[in-house]
Structure formats: structure tokens, C-alpha cells
Structure 1
Amino acid sequence: MRLLPLALVSSALLSPALLIVGTTAPAAPRRWLAGDAHVHSQWSPGYDRATSPPTYLRGADALYPTPKNAAMARAHGLSWMVTTDHGGPTHSRLNRDEAYPELLQSRTAVPDLLQFYGMELNMPAMDHHTLIVPRAADERDVLYEIESRFDAADAWPADPSRGTAAARQAALAFLASLPRLPLVFANHPSRSATGLRQYGLDEPAELRDNNTRAPQVYRGLEGGPGHQASGLARDGSPRRDASGALTGFRGGYSRPGAHTLGGFDQMTAIVGGLWDTMLAEGRRFWVVAASDSHVHFDETTRQGSDFWPGEFHKTYVLARKDYADVLEGLREGRVFTVAGDLISELSVTARAGRSMAGIGGTMKAKPGQAVEVAIAFRDPAGPNFGGRTPSVARIDVIVGDMTGPAADPTADRAPRTRVVARLTAKDWKCKGETCSLATRLPASPYSQYVRVRGTSTTDDEPAMDTAGENPWDDLWFYANPVFIDRGVIAPPAASATTAFRVPAHTHP
């Protein structure tokens, strides 16, 4: 891959709304809006199971009222968020009668924040999933029907049939039948894993099956899980147990050998891993990041593991500031995720002749035709909410060949995906906070996708996180891909035979 003259980057500095193939600039241009798709309120309760049925204990799991979450989200730079309380058929009445009225109050109290109604669905036979309901007059009733009929937890009396694969399939069929389609993302998908490529509650075959059954609904995974302050004590120092040993892992990924990698889930962080297999099949399957906020890490009433919405992780969506366009942006993959405000804007534009596309889009090229990629990003000059002023140390350009549907639904390796360039500050030019560069992809006869990631570190690959780690020392961003349609699918490559090697940290 060779770098191109900076003059060719000019298109990346235009309004991102102009970079979407087949559209014209809308009257109100789209811009990057930061948000959080996974926030809990006091309506994620605990239970007194000594009673029959169990008694809800408001605030026992997540602590804060929805207006408090909304105010903190806005204070930390967010334009939108989704309330995603834990649910179940019994809880559905609490959600309808108590939580929803509080959401309406919150929308009035913090009108400058788009506040979606949703929940953290206990997906039958799988782990937690974010469910986002489109904003409409019937949003309360739609969520009540979904939660009461399909959530796998909280039934009284217990109903084992709710936790089956058949129940999952029925839930997806119902979601896909709704006149206004919701969105679903798998949350912390490898938190139950026992090692790298040793998955737990969310298996590759299940992710594929869900996306196949409801491709416009089941749209991706939480690549950047919340609970990123799990290793911090209230004063921000490393958390220690009673014996003085370091404790607490980013994301709550506490199983040995299966921690997050640079704060991101292994399905996202490993090049040629599970996410790349989905993209190589041509699936529009996106990654988001979230706070999973329950209790802030400096809370005095009890020790928390979380940052406020927007304090550390942000999901940026290219959209106009209205509910419908933000939801469409999430569905169409006009999204990048970032930790610690490492960047606040990003443009990745692929071009061949007169065809071009930006993040989440698709462009056309002939076999062997050169594809130029322009990248521009904003590296904020001021401190982030950790009091740091990080800079982008490197950007990786990652390319994968399109290989079509996987013959093996359990596949989690994409051998034809690779890092084609590792670019540093010497490769880009900056004007104020905006930096830009351009490059040309290696010639290929095949349809491909290109995606970029960046980091504040000098780690070639994201290192596995350690107990008591300070997340502010290890920041990454991930952009969703641009697809390059050449009309030719690559032949399957030999399966990867070597294990992913986890590098050591090169930062404190």
C-alpha cells in the first residue's frame, strides 16, 4: 500500500453527509453525533426472592434515575442515548407503568438529548442484547409486548421454554414482522468466554443465525463493552482486594485468558476474527460501544464499575439530530466507536473513478481497478474526562476479501483479512485539530471491504487487559467498514492454523 499526495484527501474534509453514494446533501446536513446504546437506570432492580412472587428492590442493581443519567450523558458530550434496563415478563409491567413515565419526564428535563426507549433483552438461549425501539406513539406498548412475550428471564412461575433456541427464533421472527423495525445488538458477547476463540453464551453460529433470520433487525454487537472502570478504586487508583492484590478487569471480563483486548471484545479486536468473518460474508454487521452504566466507580454508597454515559466510550453516528435518522444511521453502519475521546470525527472514503462511499456504504469498482482511500479525523486538543490529552499514535488500514457465506456456521477466522498499512503521524498532515491522509489499496480482482482502527499506544495489536488496569492508558477507536463491490467473490483461503498471539503492553 502506498500513500497518495495529500491533495487527494480533500474529499475527506467535506461534510460527511456528501460522502454517501447515491445521495445528495440534505437540507440539514448529517454530522457525527455521539451516543450510548446501553444505559441502565434505577428500574434495573434487584429482587427479594424470599417472597412469592419476588419483590422488586428499586435501585438495587442500577442506581440512578433516568433524568440523572440523561443529565450526565449530556454533560459528557452525548446527543443520544438508549435506556436499556434489565427485563423479563414480570418486570415488563414495571417497565410500562413506572420506568416509561420516568423516561417521559427525562425527555422533558433534558430536551437536548435524544432518549430512546429500549431494554437489555435476555435473548433466549443467549446472553444480554440491547433492544432499541423506534420512537413512536406506541413505543411503550411495543416494548411491553416484546418484553412480556419473549424475554428469557424473570418469569414467575419459572418457564424453561423461554430459554430455548425455538424461543429465540420466535422472538426474531416477531421483531422482523413489526411495522417499525427495532434494532438489536449483542452485548458484551465474549464476557462468558473461557479463552480466546472459546466462546460462552454467544456462539458464532448463533450470531449468524440471528442475522440471517432478521437481517434488518439483528445488526451487530457491542465491540466496546461497558464496565470499563472495573479496575479503578473510587479515587481513580488501581483497585485492590483485601489482600492488596490488583483486582477488577475492564468490561467485567474476569475469566483468565479471556479478558478484553485494549478494552474491546475479542470478536472485534482480533484482526481476521469473528467480526471479520461476518463482514467477509457480506453481512452488514456493525460494532458499537457503550458504558453499560449501573453505578459510577466513585459512588460513595457502594463501589461501582462504571463511567457515566459518554465519559469514556462513545458511539458516533453520522445522522441528523432526530430519532429516525439516528436509528437509520445505526442500522446502516454509519458508525465509529472510540474510547477516551481519542477522536471526535472520522471520515473514511473509498473511491474508484466516479464511484465512492463512506463508512457503512458500498462502492463499485472493476476487478483490478485501483481504489483510493482518504481518511480524515479530528484529534481534540483539550483534555478528556480522565484529565488526559491523548493523541492518535497510529492508524491501521485493514482489508478483507469477500468470500461469500461461510460453509461452517461456527467459523471465527477470516484468513483473507489483514492489516495492509500501519500509519503514524509522519503519514498525515494536520491543520488545527483535523488530520488527513490518503492511500491506495493493493490491487485486487475481488470484492473487498476496508476498515480502519486507531490507537493512542504503540501496541501492534491490542494487548489483553490486566487486573486493576487504568483504561485511560490504552485507547482505541474502530470504524465500521466500507464495502468495495467488484462482482467477484474470492475463493476460500486455508483456515488459519496459528493461534492469535496476544502482545505485551507497551504503555504503563
Structure 2
Amino acid sequence: MYNAFLLALLAAPVMTAAADADPDLGRQWQPGDHHVHSEWSVDWDRSTTPPTPIRGGDSSYSRTRNAEQARHFGLRWMVHTDHGGPGHSAVTRDHAYPALLQARQAVPEVIQFNGMEFDVPAGEHASLIIAPGPQENDQLVTIERDYSRGEPLQEGARDTHQHMLDALAHLRGLTPLPLMLINHPSRTATGVGQWGEVEPAELKAWHAAAPQVLVGMEGAPGHQATRTERGLYRNAAAPTFGGFDQMTTQVGGAWDQMLAAGTHFWITASSDSHVNVRDGGSDFDPGEYSRTYVWARPEADDILAGLRSGRMFAVTGDLIDALELTVQAADGSGAAGRMGDTVAVQPGTPLRVQLRVRQPDGVNAAGQRPQLRQLQLIVGSDTGGGQAPDMQTRRFTATAWQQQGAWVQVTWELPAPAGGGFVRARGSSTDEPTPLADAKGEDPWQDLWFHSNPVFIRR
């Protein structure tokens, strides 16, 4: 009875009438993590047929322990995302889901979503997030059983682009809609712009097949604690840059090309927590280093809506804890657009882009209080004909910004792009004009960045 009540509480809208009148009523920046592993990311005894799951194979932590650590580090929401494998859907049904219910009861302060690290057919991995409700276990078990690349005993049986499209068709038919974010997209790349198991063309095709389901990717992958290959991006020719994936950090690169074409595709940050560095692993706990902040009310439905619509930013090391990015005609006419919004402005009309960020009051998990050293505004515009977008970047340091208590503000006025486009922002604790390739042995706490999601501009 308690579990049914808790599910209803998680999914239930609050302040409905008032929220309809003022969509932002009750919303705050809700920090969370959508990629966390537990003891139900099992190993396999392949001497048996079918293989026998070995509890704790990829992580020794219980789901309750992970939720407790998320609470300790100040998260308001998280997603449990264990690996699949041959016949793992039975593990999900019989073990992982009861462990989720137990974690919810033990740690009610953290909104906890049912999910998994989905083995993407013709790809690598994705965080699959299921909306809380009475069907949440059955929905996840069915998706894993029928569509996960790792579920069949015969390896490679589902590793086709068509099977991924079939999976997305199934997902977009569910009520309520689940959500999917591609994990560590360039981890298998062989160089900068030389893609591996995930290619930009695949991201575009998958998003087009289910635009309200597959909505984005990890801008900052997990496994940030390792001093050998940050993010476990093991190919030295294709590392992370300032802890973020090259698709995100390269101005005019893969992500910017999608945005310039008007594709509503978002970025996040996650821990990909398996084993904490304190216990000899490569990871931080949920919320210890990486966070995705969503502008939402403290309820599951609104957090999912924020993720789906791009009301979020990604940050490492508690560099900032609030972000306001607005785009509006410089004369104040028309509505101001924020992250995830689209602003209609005539070409050439003077635009005012304003960025405000807040630095936390207190130290981060490393006992440090990082200083913001720069802010950047990035504007991209569609040049048409499949050509690379036209990109402009303006960089601000402390001599050029306004300080208002814990808040820092910058403004840029420029003509609206002729063919439409977008604005996004980033900032750092470093002086690097662009994020540098991460080198072996570097301290991730000394190389902190945040990246916003975009505001779109159309004619």
C-alpha cells in the first residue's frame, strides 16, 4: 500500500491551477543525475546456458546506498540505470525494481526514477528513464526484453539500425512517455570528428524517429575521477575536453550543427557511478562532481518535462548552481526566450543576449570553492545548403562582467542571424579560451566547466 501511495505522490502534479496560470510557480533549479549503477549491473557466469547473473559484478553498491549518497551531495532527483545483458530483463523485474522501491522508501527526499542503461541497437548506450506510475516496472521490462541489444543469447542478433527505430517506435507509443539520453557519445571515436559507434547522423535519425523521447546526450560523461583517461575516453586521439565530450565542446561541431538546423537536442552531465574512487574505482558518487540542473518543481512529472524541453544546464565541481540565459529584441519588444525556447525575431533586428550565473555559497565536495574566471556566449546561425554553421563567440572575464552578490551577469547585443540560429553559453574555472584536451594525470577539480542548453532564434 505504501509503494502505491509513493508512486502516486511522485507522479502527481501539484499546484495545478496556479501552475497553469504561471508555469514557473514553484520551480527551482533541481540538481540530479541520470546515470547511476548498482549491484544489479550484474556480471555473468557464461559456463551455464543461459548465463547466470552474478550480483554485484559491475558495482557493489545497493540502490539505497546510491540514493543516500545522492542525498548527501544535495541531489533532488536521480535515475537508477543498471546495465543489461543476456536475459537481464528478469533481473530488472525480480530484483532491481524491488530494490528501487526499497530505496524510495529509505530515501524519500530524492525523487528516484526507474530506468536502465539501454544497450542501443547499432549504437552503444543510453540512459532510459521511465515516468513513475503503476506500469513503470512492466514498461521497462518489456523494453529491455524486446529491444535491448544485450538481451538475446545470440550476440549481435539485434545490432541493427532498424531495431533501434523499432525500439523508438515502441517508446513513443507509451503513456506516459519515457525519455532517452545517449551516453558518452564520443567514447569510441578514433579522433576529433572521427566517429565510432555513435555518429551524428545516427543521433539525428534517432531523434527524428522519436523527438519527444530521444532528446539529447551526455555533454559531460561520467567516470571523471580517473586520472588516466578522464571519462574512460581511452583513445588519446579522441579525449574529453574540459571533462566534456567533443560533440559538445567543439564550436561549430556536431552539436552546433544540429542546433543550427533547428534540432531540439539537449546536453546533460552524469556520474556514470559504478565504483567510487575512494573504493579504488574510476567514479564519483551521484552529485559529488557532475550535476544536471533542471528548472522544475520538486515533482517527477515536472523534472521529466524540464529534461524533455531543455530547461537545464550541465556543470562540474559546483562551479555554478543557477543559470539564466535570455534572448530578446534589444528594444525590449516581444517575449524573452530562455533555454529550450524559440524566439521569433526579424533578421538583422538587434538582439540582447543576457547571461546570469550564480556561484554557490560554500565549498564543493573536494573542500574547494572554485572561482569563475570566464564566461562565453556562443551564437550559431544556419548558412543553408548543408554547410557548416556560422559561429560567433564572445568571451568575458571579471573585468567585463557585473557582479551582484553571488550572481555574475554579462550582456551582448548583436544582429539577429539572417537564417535563424541559436545562442548557448559556457564558463570555466580556467583561462582556456576553448576547452583543452584532457591529459593523463590532470586533476578534474582544477578544470571545471558549465555548458547551457540553447535558446533558438527563428525569423
Secondary structure of the corresponding residue to residue 357 of structure 1? coil
Query: 2:381, 2:389 within 8 Å by CA — same for their partners in 1?
Result: no
* Structure 2 counterparts to residues 362-377 of structure 1, below 5 A: 362-377=342-357
Q: Which residue of 2 aligns with 1:53?
A: 50
1:220 corresponds to which residue? Answer: 216
Is the 1:161–1:167 contact (alpha carbons within 8 Å) kept by the matching residues of 2? no
The counterpart of 1:312, out of the listed 285, 289, 305, is 289
- Shift in CA distance, 305/27, structure 1 to aligned 2, threshold 3 Å: closer
Aligned equivalents of 1:23, 1:414: Cα separation in 2: 40
Q: Tell me, in whole angstroms, the C-alpha distance in 1 between the residues paired with 2:448 and 2:415.
A: 28
CA contact under 8 A between 2:262 and 2:421: conserved in structure 1? no
Q: Does 1:280 align with 2:260?
A: yes
After TM superposition, list the pairs within 5 Å mapping 1:204-215 onto structure 2.
204-215=200-211
Q: 1:417 matched to which residue of 2?
A: 391
Conserved? CA contact 2:41–2:82, under 8 Å:
yes
Which whole-Å CA distance do the structure 2 matches of 1:95 and 1:361 have between them? 37
Q: Secondary structure at the match of 1:169?
A: helix
- Segments of 5+ residues of structure 1 without an aligned counterpart are 1-21, 232-247, 408-412, 487-508
Q: Deviations over 1:301-328 (max 9, x none)?
A: xx20000000000000000111000000
Residue of structure 1 aligned with 2:32, choices 27, 35, 42: 35
| CA–CA separation in structure 2 for the residues paired with 1:198 and 1:69 | 35
Find the counterpart in structure 1 of residue 89 from structure 2.
92
After TM superposition, the structure 1 = structure 2 runs for residues 283-294 of structure 1, keeping only pairs within 5 Å, are: 283-294=263-274
Amino acid across the alignment from 2:433: D
CA gap 1:27/1:127 in 2 versus in 1, 3 angstroms: closer
SS at match of 1:100: helix
How far the C-alpha of 1:51 sits from its partner, in A, is 2.1
Q: Residue 250 of structure 1 aligns with which residue? A: 230
| 8 Å Cα contact 2:326-2:353 kept in structure 1 | yes
Match of 1:167? 163
CA shift, 1:441, in A, is 2.4
User: For 2:186, which of 174, 183, 190 is the aligned residue?
Assistant: 190
Q: Go from structure 1 to structure 2 and tell me whether the alpha carbon gap of 1:62 and 1:336 turns closer, same or farther (over 3 Å shift).
A: same
User: What amino acid does structure 1 have at the position aligned with 2:392?
Assistant: R
Structure 1 contact 89–147 (Cα < 8 Å) conserved = no
Report if the CA contact (8 A) 1:297-1:305 is conserved.
yes
- RMSD, aligned α-carbons: 1.6
Q: Distance in 2 between matches of 1:165 and 1:403?
A: 30
**Structure 1 residue 450: Cα displacement:** 0.4
TM score, norm. by length of structure 2: 0.93
1:108 equivalenced with 2:98 (yes/no):
no
How many Å separate the matches in 2 of 1:329 and 1:403? 30
1:108 is paired with a residue whose SS is helix
Matches within 5 A, 1:310-349: 310-349=287-326
Q: Whole-Å Cα distance in 1 between the matches of residues 52 and 447 of structure 2?
A: 41
Could you tell me which of 445, 448, 451 is aligned with 1:475? 448
Counterpart amino acid of residue 117 in structure 2: E
DSSP-derived class of the 1:355 partner: coil
Structure 1 length-normalised TM:
0.84
**Number of paired residues?**
438
Give 1:74's aligned amino acid: R
Give the SS at the match of 2:357: strand
1:168-199 CA distance string (max 9 Å, x none): 11111111121221111110011011111111
Do the aligned partners of 2:315 and 2:449 also contact (CA within 8 Å) in 1?
yes
Aligned with residue 269 of structure 1, among 228, 237, 249: 249
State the 1:159 CA deviation.
5.2
1:436-495, Cα deviation, whole Å (9 max, x unpaired) = 232212453331210000011001111101112210010000000001121xxxxxxxxx
Structure 2 residue 399 is matched with structure 1 residue 426 = yes
* Residues 344 and 457 in structure 2, CA contact (< 8 A), matched pair in contact too: yes
One-letter amino acid of the counterpart of residue 320, structure 1: R
Segment of structure 1 superposing worse, 44-53 or 451-460: 44-53
The structure showing larger relative contact order (alpha-carbon pairs under 8 Å, at least 6 residues apart) is: 1
- In the alignment, which residue of structure 2 is the partner of 1:461? 434
Matches within 5 A, 1:85-164: 85-88=82-85, 90-156=87-153, 158=154, 160-164=156-160
CA distance in 2, matches of 1:167, 1:208: 16
Alignment of 1:371-386 (within 5 A): 371-386=351-366
Contact kept? 1:272, 1:418, Cα under 8 Å: no
State the alpha-carbon separation in 2 of the partners of residues 457 and 440 from structure 1: 25
Structure 1 CA distance for aligned equivalents of residues 417 and 266 of structure 2: 24
| Cα pair 2:260 2:389 within 8 Å, conserved | no
- Asked if the contact 2:40/2:82 (under 8 Å) is kept, the reply is yes
Describe the SS at the equivalent of 2:138: helix
For 2:277 and 2:155, the matched residues in 1 are separated by 35
Task: Report SS of the residue matched to 2:162.
Answer: helix
Counterpart residue identity of residue 114, structure 1: I
Are 2:378 and 1:398 equivalent residues in the alignment? yes
Percent identity between the two aligned chains: 47
